[in-house]
A and B are shown apart, each in its own frame.
Chain A
Amino acid sequence: MIKAILIFNNHGKPRLIRFYQYFAEDMQQQIIRETFHLVSKRDDNVCNFLEGIYFTLIYRHYATLYFVFCVDSSESELGILDLIQVFVETLDKCFENVCELDLIFHMDKVHYILQEVVMGGMVLETNMNEIVAQVELQNRMEKSEGGLSGAPARAVSAVKNMNLPEIPRNINIGDINIKVPSLSPF
């Protein structure tokens, strides 16, 4: 069983949290903090597993983000490692060159993608094409319903953005894209 999936950045800011076992909010934050503490002090060239306080942690570090899966003993370590890769590659496809900003501003969409990969702590689908297809079909359905905010809100949002000194999408933060290295297929 996967007990939790945590995505946070190099500073420990959570970008997505998904617990499959109930913890109260303050406990969740504590787990995030402790996990970040454990993971962040590790070099990039050490192994990707470690024994956390509550679970085994399996993680990958891409550019500015840590993807951490907290699992119990029934999961294969290398298998989960590949699953993280599949998940990130899927994100890369859905967001087209995914970067941290995509996760920041579209947490809900990341959740919807994750829901097609893992369900209730168990692996649902590992085939990337299948995951992408299902996500797109659902997005199309959402579009046909007019989306969450609809056209008028989008117009206003554009107006609101004008006040901002800079629109985050256009900031040149250098190489923040999550480079998805092509690993040997699973």
Chain B
Amino acid sequence: MALKIVKGSIDRMFDKNLQDLVRGIRNHKEDEAKYISTCIDEIKQELKQDNIAVKANAVCKLTYLQMLGYDVSWAAFNIVEVMSSSKFTYKRIGYLAASQCFHEGTDVIMLTTNQIRKDLSSPNQYDTGVALTGLSCFVTPDLARDLANDIMTLMSHTKPYIRKKAVLIMYKVFLKYPESLRPAFPRLKEKLEDPDPGVQSAAVNVICELARRNPKNYLSLAPLFFKLMTSSTNNWVLIKIIKLFGALTPLEPRLGKKLIEPLTNLIHSTSAMSLLYECVNTVIAVLISLSSGMPNHSASIQLCVQKLRILIEDSDQNLKYLGLLAMSKILKTHPKSVQSHKDLILQCLDDKDESIRLRALDLLYGMVSKKNLMEIVKKLMLHVDKAEGTTYRDELLTKIIDICSQSNYQYITNFEWYISILVELTRLEGTRHGHLIASQMLDVAIRVKAIRGFAVAQMATLLDNAHLLTGNTQRNGICEVLYAAAWICGEFSEHLEDPMQTLEAMLRPKVATLPGHIQAVYVQNAAKLFATVLQKHEGETDSQAAQETSQLLIDRLPLFVQSANLEVQERASCILQLVKYIQKLQQKNVEVAEEVTALFAGELNPVAPKAQKKVPIPEGLDLDAWINEPPSESESEDEKPKVVFAKEEPKHYRSRHTEVDEKELARRREVRKQEQANNPFYIKASPSSQKVYDAPGVEHIPVVQIDLSVPLKVPGMPMSDQYLKLEEERRQKEKAERKKKEKKKKREKRGKGRKADSGPESEEDITPAHQVDIVTEEMPENALPSDDDDKDPNDPHKALDIDLDKPLADSEKLPVRTHRPEVLKSPAEDRDSKSVPQETKKKSSKEKKEKKKDKEKDRKQIKPTVHWFPVQKSSKHKKKKQKKEKEEKEKKKKKRHHHHHHHGDAGGEDSVQNGTVEEEEPLPPMSNYSLLAENSYIKMVYDIQGNHQDESKVVVSVIFENKSDSFLKSMEFNVLDSLNSKLQRPEGAGPHDGLTVPFQLPPGVSNEARFVFSVQSIVMPQKLKGTLTFIVKSDESSTHEKLDFKLHFTCTSYLITTPCYSDAYAKLLESGDLKGSSLRLEGINMPFHHLLARICFHHHFSVVERIDSCASMYSRSIQGHHVCLLVKTSDQTVSIDAKCDEPSLLGNVLDEIKQTFSKC
């Protein structure tokens, strides 16, 4: 033994520690990956050793490798082992590793519950601290539920170090287990006034996080916070509180009014910039909430803006940045006060710091008006030219477009100017926003009818000079603009001066190098242009020119027919055939123009993107209702168990009532959405392109071949600057005219004393250059105006929207730890939490709500059983009984019951799927814990549970109960391993050493410890001999005692309750891989549902389906064997037909079931 330890420590000397690992990695720069993989192999070896120090060292190295990006989740179990070490050094390493790599999906987390609980209650505050810190990173809903009460107790710990950690972690607990919020809130509130500033700060922190998401529930705390704000000197706390007030004021304007004064005082007095900044921010929030006409607060706005100006002018870039950030908040409600600082903000555009420039851009967005739009955009265009780096330039580009297009082009007075700006932007090299420019061109051309002529001319120039834009053919590159250009020219070709030239430009061979989707548009719009050209020529009866045009298309289109892009190919070949046909007709001198144009006829309207979604559902239409009777799957399914277990005489099944539960509906909806998304024919909201040609018979225009040499400036492209000058002149002129008019008026109305307009012209005075009609996007009639599309249903904070002012109900206590036998007073509930954990999570909130609704005791007793069976249905029987007993209650629920009665009358006796609710008598308490051994000092009961994640491990939970008046300590648990089953000894030492039970037992106390066993074969039951040694310590003496026991690993203990749907179940049985066996039990006189519950509980089965006195059940072993039962009962005789892919396992399980029932 001693030798072994020495040997172990010598081995250890040559293990690498963290420093060696780091050094090694640094020395292997060229083959780092290879080196690390050998290190990982070493670590794997180290983890296999029994010495905890070696393991801890290995885990510590893994934490480092995790940082480098290596997935170390395979060592999760070893991490848990290190976490459970009794030494702080190792524990800390374990918890650190866990906090770095555990998450909700880590399966071994469920093994840690007891360990964490033990650490939380450790006498050493640092054990507790380390556990809290670790837990804060990997808390899961299950851990939160199980540990909420322990953590809440820690909030009143004597040490502030523990208190502040416990307070902080409560936030995480609330997030994962929202039911804990109400019971824990009073204590949390108490902590706001904790004598220790750290704890106080933690409490403020937590409440601020909570209130930020659901501010209205925390309004009642405002006075308390107000007191804190005026008394606290801790800047951290002040900042948090002031931020919180910023969230609360929009809900309660009166609070805002009260806040203004102390906040202004703080602004004047504080020297801490962070605090000053947050105060300004909150004052802004207050002012926004008060914005509805409070003139006397203009002083506060002035103060804020003035302070912000100081920040922006500061040399510290951070302050400058934040100043701009805050300025943008004021801008929303008080644009006037910000606009006067336009100079400052434009100056920031020249700042060397990109973040600051971006903030300034944000501000500009809100500062534009009709008057200054052109000027601001001109400045931005200058910056575009100067900008280095494409990201910032792209940002500028999007901002220019944002600024111009905001609120439906509200500030644009001259659309010709805007189109030329867009065209100018196309000259940017390497932009990724070609698509954005293109969509703007399309939008403007479609919606501003008056501009179409101009736009078409510009687009034609673009198409003509397409070679300038095609340098960059990547997706979303600037060539996207050609998409818009081609479409606009095609769609509005009646405005084209020379359609033939454009047509020619669109059919150049170079076009074939463009991305496919653009080529497709080219081809389609070439056809439209062709129609226009034909019409022109036929109007002039120039059949020669018309035929030449057809020939042009026939010559050029084959290039596109060969395209690799399917859409281009398809369109091109269609149109080619069409043109060929037209050519034939032309040769026979048939007039075709009319028919060809008819191909593209139809009015075009922009449709709002949300239009489809906004179509109101007509009255009386239920989208979730069945259109036809659902297929009667019931028959075939009900039949299935019989086919397999053929001995049963046929039963008369009624067709099942078609009630689809909520989950199923949601699933179907999801499936439908998926289908719609994949269905190209499903009509989504998008603008359709159909049009009417209303300008036929344009003059004949000869085809001109233009061969441009590459010009530096695109000829014919207007410079937007010209518009600026023009606009200014126009405005001057208008102003002059207005003045004249006014003078006239004045002369007319002399004596009435009206002053001439000499001040700066106001917004309304600027008239747009063209009378433009901006077409609004189409919406369906009766569209619902609601705009709730933005809410995220998955927000975890939604669950925390809980009223905290209501007094606590009895039912809202946090779950307190008890051993299972006690919990089993409501056995079904316990089973629930073990068997279908996911279901529980979802239901627990539902349950809570329901509990609140009716607090009658009898309802609560019923509840657990209802829960256990997924489908809630009331049998007629139950209703009658309830009706007798609870006449009054019945009245309230008359409506519901009425419905049920109706159903019951119509159908006679109900058949129930997936469970039943015969509530004649509650189930007797059940416990899976069976006696392990007992003497006058101690009693041990145990339960064995399998674990899906690890097919070779089972967990034995042993409850030790001290029956004596003495203190029991140094308990050591040891088992003589067999070949098949071995006790996992994490603490090192040899295969015959015992495990120390991690607690001591004062008189009368019981506690639970878990031991992990590895098993190989699970088909046979097994007994392991073991011994518990312990020291009995009374006042005068202490004696060494021991107790022998036999651990019985039944086959049942390898089964895990696994839910199974009836269709999967049927498939399983049909597969024919399962071998059958059967069992008959005589003289069983217990209700059928008790029988089922017993099988479920003691043998880890779940009910798949139950019909009358016949039920199918399912379970799975930890190694994946399927076990299926068909249980039937008649007159005290129960017959069980069973199937399983492992016959000996099945035989043993059936024997065990037989034993269970022979006992009662």
Contact = CB atoms under 8 A, between A and B. Distances in A.
Nearest to B322: A77
Contacts of B1131: none
A92 interface: no
B165 A186 contact: no
B355 interface: yes
B236 A148 contact: no
A150 B87 CA distance: 13
Contacts of B27: 164
A45 B318 contact: no
Contacts of B208: 74
Chain B CB within 10 A, most for which of A26, A76, A168: A76
Interface stretch (B8-16, B479-487, B499-507): B8-16
A127 B235 contact: no
Contacts of B273: 78
Given A120-B169, A145-B89, A186-B272, A47 B64 contact: no
Contacts of B18: 105, 107-108
B12 A152 contact: yes
B92 A142 contact: yes
B274 A108 contact: no
Nearest to A73: B212
Given A123-B236, A148-B89, A186-B235, A153 B13 contact: yes
A97 interface: no
Contacts of B274: 76-79, 81-82, 186
A153 B12 contact: yes
B56 A148 contact: yes
Chain A CB within 10 A, most for which of B19, B57, B70: B19
A43 B321 contact: no
A145 B169 contact: no
Contacts of A104: 22, 26
Given A47-B353, A78-B274, A124-B165, A157 B202 contact: no
Contact of B93 (A50, A108, A121, A125): A108
A130 B198 contact: yes
B236 A79 contact: yes
Contacts of B272: 186
Nearest to B164: A124
Nearest to A152: B13
A138 B128 CA distance: 12
Contacts of A123: 201, 205, 236
A46 B317 contact: yes
Contacts of A16: 67
Interface stretch (B131-139, B570-578, B807-815): B131-139
A148 B239 contact: no
A47 B212 contact: no
Interface in A79-132: 79, 81-82, 104-105, 107-108, 111-112, 115, 119-127, 130
B20 interface: yes
Contact of B57 (A20, A122, A149): A149
B272 to A, nearest CB: 7
A46 B19 contact: no
Chain B CB within 10 A, most for which of A28, A42, A50, A186: A186
Interface in A133-183: 134, 137-138, 141-142, 145-150, 152-153, 155-157, 160, 164, 168
A10 interface: no
B354 A46 contact: yes
A28 B69 contact: yes
A12 interface: no
Contact of A148 (B60, B63, B124, B243): B60
Given A145-B89, A153-B12, A120 B20 contact: no
Given A14-B67, A112-B96, A153 B17 contact: yes
B71 interface: yes
B881 interface: no
Given A107-B67, A119-B165, A119-B168, A49 B318 contact: yes
B318 A48 contact: yes
Nearest to A20: B137
A25 to B, nearest CB: 5
Given A47-B318, A112-B96, A145-B89, A122 B353 contact: no
B67 to A, nearest CB: 5
Given A137-B126, A156-B13, A148 B355 contact: no
A138 B13 contact: no
A62 B130 CA distance: 29
Interface string B56-86: 1100100110111111000000000000000
A122 B322 contact: no
Chain B CB within 10 A, most for which of A18, A81, A108: A108
B568 interface: no
Nearest to B271: A184
A186 B273 CA distance: 9
B199 to A, nearest CB: 10
Assign chain B's interface to a size class: 35 or more
Nearest to A26: B69
Contact of B236 (A74, A108, A126, A157): A126
Contact of B239 (A1, A46, A76, A125): A76
Chain B contact residues: helix, strand, loop or mixed: helix
B20 A46 contact: no
A147 B19 CA distance: 14
B899 interface: no
A46 B103 CA distance: 37
A27 to B, nearest CB: 10
B600 interface: no
A140 B68 CA distance: 29
A40 to B, nearest CB: 13
B409 interface: no
Nearest to A104: B22
A125 B164 contact: yes
A36 to B, nearest CB: 13
Nearest to B316: A47
Given A122-B171, A123-B205, A76 B243 contact: yes
A130 B277 CA distance: 27
Interface string A54-84: 0000000000000000000010111101100
B274 to A, nearest CB: 3
B172 interface: yes
Contact of A108 (B12, B63, B355): B63
Interface string A1-12: 100000000000
Contacts of B321: 47, 49
A153 B18 CA distance: 12
B1157 interface: no
Contacts of A76: 239-240, 243, 274, 277-278
A156 B14 CA distance: 7
Nearest to A130: B198
B93 A122 contact: no
A82 B87 CA distance: 35
B915 to A, nearest CB: 35
Given A78-B322, A120-B133, A121-B136, 13 more contacts: A25-B70, A47-B321, A49-B322, A74-B209, A76-B239, A76-B277, A77-B277, A105-B18, A105-B23, A119-B168, A122-B206, A142-B88, A149-B17
12 contacts: A24-B71, A79-B236, A107-B67, A108-B60, A108-B93, A119-B133, A124-B168, A137-B126, A142-B89, A145-B89, A153-B15, A160-B20
Shortest 4 CB-CB contacts between residues of A and residues of B: A120-B136, A78-B274, A47-B317, A46-B353
Interface of B: 9-10, 12-15, 17-20, 22-23, 26-27, 53, 56-57, 60, 63-64, 66-71, 87-90, 92-93, 96, 100, 103-104, 124, 126, 132-133, 136-137, 161, 164-165, 168-169, 171-172, 198, 201-202, 205-206, 208-209, 212, 235-236, 239-240, 243, 272-274, 277-278, 317-318, 320-322, 352-356, 358
Interface of A: 1, 14, 16-18, 20, 22, 24-26, 28-29, 42-43, 45-51, 74, 76-79, 81-82, 104-105, 107-108, 111-112, 115, 119-127, 130, 134, 137-138, 141-142, 145-150, 152-153, 155-157, 160, 164, 168, 186
